Structures are given as C-alpha cells and as structure tokens.
C-alpha cells in the first residue's frame, strides 16, 4: 500500500476516534445530568442523596416521655436542605412535624404509604417524599421527609442468573463495542482508501486519454458518473479540436490555392507586357482586363477575411435605418435576376404584407441574403428554383429562403455555418473562401436575428431567419 493509503487510513481513524470521543463525552454529560441534582445548598449531589439522608435521619429523632421529637442538629439539617418532616405512629396518624408542605395530610393509610414508597410522590410533582422507620419501646414509627426536588424512582428487573456482576458486564459490553468499532474502522478505512486510489487512477487515465468508463452503484456513484461525463466531454472536445484543426488546414490550403490561382495569370500577363514589345492596343486591353479581374478576386477574398474578423469581434459598424423590408428584398431579387449570370433563373416571392417596417443595415443584409440566394444557384442544378417567403407573427418577422436543389446531409447542415467549411454535396467544385455562410450568420445575428437550416438530400434546403420587429 502506498504512503497516501496509510495516511488516508490514519485520517479516517482519527476522525472515527474523534467522533467516538465526542459521543462518549456527550453521553457522559447526559448521564451526569440524569444522576445528579441541584441541591438546595447550591451544590450538585447524586440523585439518590435524599434516600441516604432519609435513612440516616433516624438518628436525629429522639423520644421524650414517649413523644417523638427532633434534635437541634436534625433541625439544622432540614433547614439547610429546605426539607420538611412528618412523624407518624403505627396507625398512620401524625404525631410530630416540621416544615411540612401545606398540602401534607395528617393521616396516611398503609396503601398511601406504600404508593409513596414506590413512586416518591403524593400529588405535587415538584416535591419528592422519602420514607424511613424507627422503633421505640416496641412501637414502630414512620417518618416522611419532603425534599423540594423532582426525583423519579426507576426499578429494573434483570436476569438473576446472568446479572451477577454489573461492572464486569458493562466492561465486557464496552470492550465489545470498542472492538467492533476498531474492526469496522479498519474495514471502512481500507475500502475508502481503495476507492480513493481508484479515483486517483481514473483521473490520471482521463488525463492520459486511456480512461475506461466505470459503473458503480455505491456511495460514490455520483463521483464516478461525473468522471465518466468528464471523460466524454474531454473526448468530444478532442474530436472537435481535431475537426477544427483539419478544417483550418483545409481552409488554409484552399485559400492558398485560391490566391495562387489569380496570381498565376496576373504574373503571366504582367511578364508578357514587360518582356515583349506589344504594340497592339487590343492585346494590351485584353491582358489588362484579365489582370484586373484576378486582382478584384483577390480583393474579395481579403475583404471576406477582414469582414469575418470584424463581425466576430463586434468591430464592424452596423448602420441601422428604418425602412420597408419587403421592398428591400424585392429590389435585391430584381438585382440578382438582372445579372446576366442568373437572368434565366426563377425566384418566387411571397409576402403576406407589402409593408413591414424594420430597422436594419441595408448593405449588410444585402450581402447576407445575396449569399443565400446565389449559393442555391451555384450549388444546385440549372433547374434549381428559389422561393422567398415573408411573414409576421406577433413581434417576430420570419423570412424563409428555400430551394429545390440537391439538399444536404445532417452532417453538412451541422457544420454549414462554420468558418472554414465547404459543402460536399454539390455537382461541381466551386471556388470560394468557405466564409460566405459564416458571414451571413454573423450579419443576421448582428441585426438581432437568428438563422437555422433544414435540409433533405434530393428535396432541397430551407433557411429560416427570424428578426424581432415592433
């Protein structure tokens, strides 16, 4: 066993013995409070001291001409203990008394005396009575001493064959209990140490990515379940990190490729213009247009990267303006269809209302919705159609941009808005930065909205965008 195991057992024993010590001390105080009373002389005494006092008080009773009386020393004892006394003859009639309670009787029957002897009380629970007897000239006298204390008499009936020596039985019981506690503490300490070591090993295995989930239905079930959950979360985080790193590398490779692609013709035509003696203005113009086109493409890539960074860090100024959102989308659709590249495409437009006033940045939302619509055409077939639906329910405006294109798998939709992701379910390889939809999502969220995607392969894709309106 390791040193930490021994230390754990030692700590457990110390805690166990401390708990036992506290219990013993508490039990001692409890027993002491039961077997002691606060005597009238402002001192503590055993609860049975009135019985001893009563038995010995017979020596303080004297007879003068066969009439019982109390010595001066006896009177002083009664006064110091605030006690009273009655002396009865053999018929139960009082023949002498001192400081007796007001409710004390002058005559007691044998049954009443027997009850007092058994219970110690006669009506008043705050006064306890003890009985003693003396004999003078062949006559029996009974005396009752009244103590201003509430003392209960308890009688126990035990097995006479077994209870021969009370002290030895008590010692035997204490020894047995102590031995059981000792063995139980050792077993419990060993079990706790083993469990703690098991937890320690599990934590090391989690750190080393070699942890095997543990099933435990005992006291530490919650701890092991937490360790299992922690391992699952760490593994999921590792997988996400690997996927993100892979997408980052793929994105860097794509960006590098996309930057090199326009740089090659720029460099090539620039070398032609610088090295060859070209006098034809038509060639110069054609070469210059190719260079400008590729420079524009590089600028768009750089602008996308810059916009992504600004949106993610809240650095892009959003210029909101109250305007008709339905009219804005209609104009955007017309602009896209006026583009020669998409003039033969079909966009369906459906709005329940003609005027929906909304405060938004026209430039940013143009970029966002243009991305959604153009992506549907670029990644779909030539027959792909786009439908735009606008509706208002309460203070929420919902815009649905849907298409009947190829659709996407659940894996693709779950990664669609990530910065470096490019979809795979397309009929052709499209050039791009993989930032378009990530930018779209950031723009919509910057306007206070949210966007979700639903797609089915072979059916199409729906983008649902919601904005709060007043």
CB 184 within 8 A of CB 20: no
What is the C-alpha to C-alpha distance for residues 276 and 268, in angstroms, rounded to an integer? 12
Residue 401 backbone dihedrals phi, psi, to 5 degrees:
-110, 110
- How far apart are alpha carbons 388 and 392 in whole angstroms? 14
pLDDT of residue 21: 77
Instruction: For residues 46 and 33, give the distance between their C-alpha atoms in angstroms, rounded to a whole number.
Output: 10
Tokens 């993610």 label which residue?
312
Going residue by residue through the chain, which has 470 residues, state the pLDDT in tens, using 9 for 90 and above: 445 455 555 666 677 677 777 877 777 777 777 777 777 766 777 777 888 888 888 888 888 888 888 888 888 888 888 888 888 888 888 888 888 888 888 888 888 888 888 888 777 667 888 888 888 888 888 898 888 888 777 766 666 655 555 556 667 777 887 788 778 777 877 887 888 888 888 888 888 888 888 887 676 778 888 888 888 999 889 888 888 888 777 767 767 766 777 777 778 777 777 776 666 677 777 878 878 877 877 777 677 677 766 776 666 777 889 999 999 999 999 999 998 889 899 999 999 888 999 999 898 899 899 999 998 998 888 889 999 999 999 899 999 999 998 899 988 888 888 765 665 554 454 555 567 788 889 889 888 899 999 999 989 999 999 999 87
β pairing state of 67-70 and 61-64: antiparallel
Per residue in 275-328, pLDDT (tens digit) is: 766 666 777 778 788 788 778 777 776 776 777 667 766 667 778 899 999 999
Q: Please give the domain boundaries of the chain with CATH numbers for all domains.
A: 48-147 (3.30.450), 244-312 (1.10.287.130), 321-468 (3.30.565.10)
pLDDT value at residue 1: 46
Strand partners, 348: 387
Q: How far is CA 423 from CA 98, 411, 450, in A?
A: 112, 10, 21
Output the CA angle 403-407-410, nearest 5 degrees: 130
- The helix/strand/coil state of 144 is strand
Q: pTM to 2 decimals?
A: 0.45
Residue for token pair 């919601």: 466
The tens digit of pLDDT for each residue in 131-144 reads 888 888 888 888 98
Kindly tell me the sign of the dihedral angle through the C-alpha atoms of 227, 231, 232, 234: positive
Q: What is the DSSP letter of 93?
A: B
Q: Is 216 left (phi over 0), alpha (psi -120 to 50) or beta?
A: beta
3-state secondary structure at position 345:
coil
Q: What is the CA radius of gyration of the chain?
A: 51
SS3 457: coil
Indicate the length of the chain as a whole number: 470
């Amino acid at each position: 066993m390791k040193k930490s195991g021994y230390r754990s057992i030692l700590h457990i024993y110390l805690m166990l013995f401390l708990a036992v010590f506290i219990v013993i001390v508490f039990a001692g105080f409890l027993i002491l409070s039961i077997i002691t009373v606060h005597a009238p002389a402002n001192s503590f005494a055993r609860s049975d001291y009135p019985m001893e006092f009563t038995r010995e008080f017979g020596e303080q009773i004297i007879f003068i001409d066969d009439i019982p009386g109390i010595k001066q020393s006896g009177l002083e004892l009664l006064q110091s203990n605030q006690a009273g006394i009655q002396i009865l003859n053999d018929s139960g009639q009082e023949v002498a008394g001192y400081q007796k309670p007001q409710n004390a009787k002058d005559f007691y029957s044998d049954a009443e005396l027997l009850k007092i002897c058994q219970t110690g009380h006669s009506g008043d629970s705050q006064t306890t009575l003890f009985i003693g007897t003396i004999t003078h000239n062949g006559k029996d006298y009974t005396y009752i001493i009244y103590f201003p204390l509430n003392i209960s008499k308890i009688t126990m009936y035990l097995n006479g064959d077994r209870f021969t020596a009370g002290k030895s039985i008590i010692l035997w019981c204490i020894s047995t209990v102590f031995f059981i506690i000792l063995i139980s503490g050792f077993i419990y300490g060993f079990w706790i140490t083993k469990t703690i070591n098991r937890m320690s090993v599990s934590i090391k295995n989690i750190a080393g990515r070699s942890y095997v989930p543990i099933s435990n239905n005992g006291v530490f079930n919650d701890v092991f379940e937490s360790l299992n959950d922690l391992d699952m979360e760490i593994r999921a985080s590792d997988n996400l990190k690997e996927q993100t790193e892979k997408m980052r590398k793929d994105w860097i490779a794509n960006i590098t490729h996309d930057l090199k692609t326009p740089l090659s013709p720029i460099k090539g035509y620039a070398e032609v213009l610088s090295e060859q003696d070209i006098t034809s203005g038509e060639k110069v113009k054609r070469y210059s247009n190719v260079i400008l086109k590729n420079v524009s493409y590089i600028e768009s890539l750089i602008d996308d990267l810059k916009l992504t960074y600004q949106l993610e860090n809240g650095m892009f100024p959003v210029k909101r303006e109250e305007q008709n959102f339905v009219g804005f989308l209609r104009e955007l659709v017309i602009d896209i269809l006026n583009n020669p590249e998409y003039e033969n495409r079909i966009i369906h437009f459906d709005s329940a209302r003609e005027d929906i006033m909304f405060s938004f940045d026209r430039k940013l939302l143009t970029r966002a919705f243009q991305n959604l619509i153009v992506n549907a055409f670029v990644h779909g077939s030539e027959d792909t159609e786009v439908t735009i639906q606008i509706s208002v329910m309460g203070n929420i405006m919902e815009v649905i941009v849907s298409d009947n294109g190829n659709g996407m798998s659940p894996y693709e939709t779950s990664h669609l808005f990530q910065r470096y992701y490019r979809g795979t379910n397309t009929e052709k390889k499209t050039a791009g930065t993989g930032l378009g939809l990530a930018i779209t999502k950031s723009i919509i969220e910057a306007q206070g909205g949210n966007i979700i995607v639903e797609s089915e392969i072979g059916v199409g894709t729906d983008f649902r965008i919601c904005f709060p309106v007043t």
